[in-house]
Amino acid sequence: MTATELTTPQSSPPAKTRRERPRVMGAGKQLHAGPLTYVVLTVFALVSLAPLVWTAIAASRTDRRLAETPPPLWFGGNLFKNMERAWEEGGLGTAMFNTIFVAGMITISTVLFATLAGFAFAKLRFRFSGLLLMLTIGTMMIPPQLAVVPLYLWMADLGWSNQLQTVILPTLCTAFGTFFMRQYLLQALPTELIEAARVDGASSLRVVWHVVFPAARPAMAVLGLLTFVFAWNDFLWPIIALNQENPTVQVALNSLGTGYVPDQAVIMAGALLGTLPLLIAFLLFGKQIVGGIMQGAVKG
Amino acid sequence: MTSPKQALAHPASSADAAPGDQPGAAGRAQGRGTPPPGKDSWRSRLYRWDMKASPYAFVAPFFIVFGAFSLVPLLYTAWYSLHNVQLSNLDGQTWTGLDNYQNLLSSDFFWNALWNTFTIGVISTVPQLLMAIGLAHLLNYKLRGSTVWRVVMLTPYATSVAAATLVFVLLYSWDGGMINWLLEFVGIDPVNWRESDWGSQFAVSSIVIWRWTGYNALIYLAAMQAIPADLYESAAIDGANRWQQFLHVTIPQLRPTILFTVVVSTIGATQLFGEPLLFGGVSGSKGGSEHQYQTLGLYMYDQGWIIGNLGKASAIAWSMFLILLIVAVIQLLVSRRLRKSQ
């Protein structure tokens, strides 16, 4: 950073100015990073990754070792033993299967409904559409705390305590997803394409199936990833609605945190297990997830 | 199933309007022959009805879910906040008017929780967003392996609140904790991150900062990449150096994005819950032995599900919502003032 600052010419010979100018104009975008940039980025990267790496180190040790000073800095030999205990005693096994089911259902329905609603908001003209869109965005401001007391009481009335549908149903479609798909379809779906299908006499469902879905596919994939991450990590309502008998991953981790298995190494193994699927997803689809977050942001 | 039939309603136009668009549909339509007379107007009426109703049908699922699981509960929460609702006796609800709210206003714990929510909100949001802008600026350079850097910065976002907090609890532990051990290296006395006022609030905030800085950096990065290059060009011609360009071009251009992230972070900070809960361990809902980091979200959970007073919990939830609305109005006014002064 400082290196490039120094070369920014103010009164340099004309021959040099011509060579330097393209570097100045794009500030940032066209500029190559100096060594200092890499140093600072490396620090940020280390801080981002260190707690995760250390989780794995702690998960491979024993409870006793974790209470000693200095803390362990390298892996021990108990990783699989601790993971097994977290899986069985900590309920992470049941929790993982439950969460895959819950997050999977939420993802499928959110992507589907959000695409439909996003398409309507982006491309169809109907009365109150502006108002309804404002309302959709406004709902993102409501904290989940405003809903949990009545939901809990209804759930108790229905005899649904500890059943997975209680955490699936409230999240079948999200405002974020709807807005995300609207923003994407606004620019990715040419209106002429819809009109052509209309002239063809295609019904709305047919337009959705043959025109909207193909155009929306990349954004649907990204929204699916983001929704899955969100559903996997959802915390407040699941810990109220479920308990250790039929937990999701976050419920099981909450139990571990409140002393369900009083062994720090097992707790760390649980944290690692509960995060691993998302870390793998980031490894495989990191580029798409990053793209999705940046895409959803521009309009903010 | 109905679509090939509807394609018949406009057999002529389908051929010349979109040739090759759906060759199958046209072919199938001809194969079925012409529709029987009399049904044609019924079909075109159906078509028109489809055009009119389908937008509502498409947005309906969202609004049904929102209505059933957010809007109606929100109103019911208001209703319950005016009642005495005990977890142990759900059928014996009695009307108490504004008692729950009066109770809150005279409760030290409520004001404590409100103040903690505010201080933790500031400690976690301000450094987070400042660092995110700096990080975005660095990520905006031409980098080797730019995607890898971005994904790495986002990995904390993949870690759930629960998993992250469990790890940080261990990192912050009094003896044998990594952070105190590192502090000792530098010659700083160990800090009691669990018990001390500011220490515990800082520790809780650091979890939020760790999880969200990379995410916000990506949002700023996206906005930075949308800034037209000629703005920098003319600034450079005017003799602005890189730092001046950052101050006078980048920051003003980012203003709407900064406002957006401030709003989103404020909403997040107001409902902060999981981090302090798990940071407290076994009696987490108290937010520390002296309630040093009991936030409003935590206080609500404690009153509702640990103590069992769901009516009071409802009143806390609504207070939270009202506070959020007031903050939103203030932010709106400030941003309007800023825009005017520009």
DSSP states along B261-293: HHHHHHHHHHT--HHHHHHTGGGGGG-STT-TT
pLDDT at A135: 92
**Residue pLDDT tens, chain A, 300 long:** 333 333 333 333 444 344 444 444 444 445 777 888 999 999 999 999 999 999 999 999 988 888 887 888 899 888 999 999 999 999 999 999 999 999 999 999 999 999 999 999 999 989 899 999 999 988 888 999 999 999 999 998 898 988 999 999 999 999 999 999 999 999 889 989 988 888 888 888 889 999 999 999 999 999 999 999 999 999 999 999 998 999 999 999 999 988 888 889 999 999 999 999 999 999 999 999 998 888 775 443
CA nearest B126: which of B269, B334, B324? B269
Amino acid, res. B190:
P
| 3-class DSSP state of A177 | helix
Q: Is residue A259 a contact partner of residue B281, using CB atoms and an 8 Å limit? A: yes
- Per the CB < 8 Å rule, is A172 touching B304? no
Considering the domain delimited by A85-298, tell me its CATH architecture.
Orthogonal Bundle (1.10)
Q: Mark which residues 87-106 of A lie under 8 Å from B by CB.
A: none
CA nearest B272: which of B290, B291, B299, B292? B299
- The pLDDT of B276-292, averaged and rounded, is 88
CB distance from A264 to chain B under 8 Å?
Answer: yes
CB distance from A282 to chain B under 8 Å?
Answer: yes
- Element (H or E) spanning B92, and its range? strand B89-95
Length of chain B: 342
Alpha-carbon distance of A8 to B237, in angstroms, equals 11
* Dihedral pair phi/psi, residue B82, rounded to 5°: -100, 10
User: A43-57, B25-39, B81-95, B111-125: which has the minimum mean pLDDT?
Assistant: B25-39
Any residues with CB less than 8 A from the CB of A90 and at least 6 apart, and which? A252, A255, A256, A260, A261, A266, A267, A270
Which residues of chain B make contact with A36, given a CB cutoff of 8 A? none
Q: How many Cβ pairs closer than 8 A exist between chain A and B?
A: 383
Count CB neighbours of A43 within 10 A.
10
Nearest by CB to B166, from A124, A257, A278: name it. Answer: A257
Nearest by CB to B73, from A150, A256, A278: name it. Answer: A150
- Per the CB < 8 Å rule, is A172 touching B65? yes
Closest CA–CA distance from residue A104 to any residue of chain B (Å): 16
The better pLDDT of the pair B294, B92 is held by B294
- Per the CB < 8 Å rule, is A71 touching B178? yes
Chain B, nearest residue to A65 by Cα: B176
CA nearest B103: which of B330, B314, B279? B314
CB distance from A48 to chain B under 8 Å?
Answer: yes
- The pLDDT of B62-81, averaged and rounded, is 95
Amino acid, res. A55:
T
β-sheet bridge partners, residue B142: A32
Closest CA–CA distance from residue B132 to any residue of chain A (Å): 10
Any residues with CB less than 8 A from the CB of A110 and at least 6 apart, and which? A171, A172, A173, A174, A177, A223, A227
Closest CA–CA distance from residue B57 to any residue of chain A (Å): 9
Q: Is residue B295 a contact partner of residue B223, using CB atoms and an 8 Å limit? A: no
pLDDT at B7: 36
Which residues of chain B make contact with A279, given a CB cutoff of 8 A? 155, 158
- Per the CB < 8 Å rule, is B141 touching A33? yes
- Which residue has 């714990």 as its token pair? B109
Alpha-carbon distance of A244 to A130, in angstroms, equals 44
Share of chain B above pLDDT 90, in %: 55
Q: Where are the alpha helices (DSSP H) in chain B?
A: 3-8, 11-17, 23-32, 39-66, 72-81, 99-105, 108-139, 146-158, 161-171, 178-186, 197-225, 229-237, 242-245, 251-270, 274-279, 296-301, 310-341
Q: What is the mean pLDDT of chain B?
A: 85
Instruction: Kindly state the tokens that stand for B56.
Output: 């509502």
Amino acid, res. B280:
G
pLDDT at A133: 93
**DSSP state, B172?**
T
Closest CA–CA distance from residue B203 to any residue of chain A (Å): 14
Closest CA–CA distance from residue B32 to any residue of chain A (Å): 16
Chain A, nearest residue to B262 by Cα: A300
Sequence ranges of the domains in chain B: 106-341
List C-alpha distances in Å: A102 to A109, A148, A242, A244, B140: 11, 18, 12, 16, 37
pLDDT at A84: 93
The better pLDDT of the pair B6, B84 is held by B84
Alpha-carbon distance of B202 to B171, in angstroms, equals 13
The better pLDDT of the pair B109, A259 is held by B109
Length of chain A: 300
Q: Is residue B177 a contact partner of residue A67, using CB atoms and an 8 Å limit? A: no
Instruction: Kindly state the tokens that stand for A276.
Output: 């691993």
Q: Is A272 exposed, middle or buried (0-12, 13-18, 19+ CB in 10 A)?
A: buried
Amino acid, res. B115:
W
User: A22-26, B45-49, B82-86, B183-187: which has the minimum mean pLDDT?
Assistant: A22-26
Q: Is residue A126 a contact partner of residue B57, using CB atoms and an 8 Å limit? A: no
Three-state SS across B103-141?
HHHCCHHHHHHHHHHHHHHHHHHHHHHHHHHHHHHHHCC
Which residues of chain A make contact with B282, given a CB cutoff of 8 A? 258-259
pLDDT at B92: 82
Which residues of chain A make contact with B315, given a CB cutoff of 8 A? none
Alpha-carbon distance of B315 to B309, in angstroms, equals 10
Alpha-carbon distance of A268 to A54, in angstroms, equals 9
Share of chain A above pLDDT 70, in %: 88
* Dihedral pair phi/psi, residue B92, rounded to 5°: -95, 55
- Per the CB < 8 Å rule, is B163 touching A253? yes
Q: Is residue B203 a contact partner of residue B193, using CB atoms and an 8 Å limit? A: yes
pLDDT at B133: 95
Instruction: Kindly state the tokens that stand for B74.
Output: 């929100």
pTM above 0.90, yes or no: no
β-sheet bridge partners, residue B89: B86
CB distance from B319 to chain A under 8 Å?
Answer: no
Closest CA–CA distance from residue B185 to any residue of chain A (Å): 11
Which of A200, A227, A250 to substitute to test the interface with B, most B CBs within 10 Å? A200
Sequence ranges of the domains in chain A: 1-32, 85-298
Q: Mark which residues 140-199 of A lie under 8 Å from B by CB.
A: 140-153, 156, 169-173, 175, 178, 196-197, 199
Query: What is the sign, positive or negative, of the torsion defined by CA atoms of A174, A175, A178, A181?
Result: negative
Q: Is residue B200 a contact partner of residue B172, using CB atoms and an 8 Å limit? A: no
pLDDT digits (tens, 9 = 90+) for A93-126: 999 999 999 999 999 999 999 999 999 999 998 9
Q: Is residue B150 a contact partner of residue B136, using CB atoms and an 8 Å limit? A: no
- Per the CB < 8 Å rule, is A66 touching B22? no
Choose which CATH entry (1.20.1090.10, 1.10.3720.10, 1.10.3080.10, 3.40.190.10) describes domain B106-341: 1.10.3720.10
The better pLDDT of the pair A166, B24 is held by A166
Which residues of chain B make contact with A92, given a CB cutoff of 8 A? none
Alpha-carbon distance of A252 to A275, in angstroms, equals 12
Which residues of chain B make contact with A110, given a CB cutoff of 8 A? none
Which residues of chain A make contact with B63, given a CB cutoff of 8 A? 132
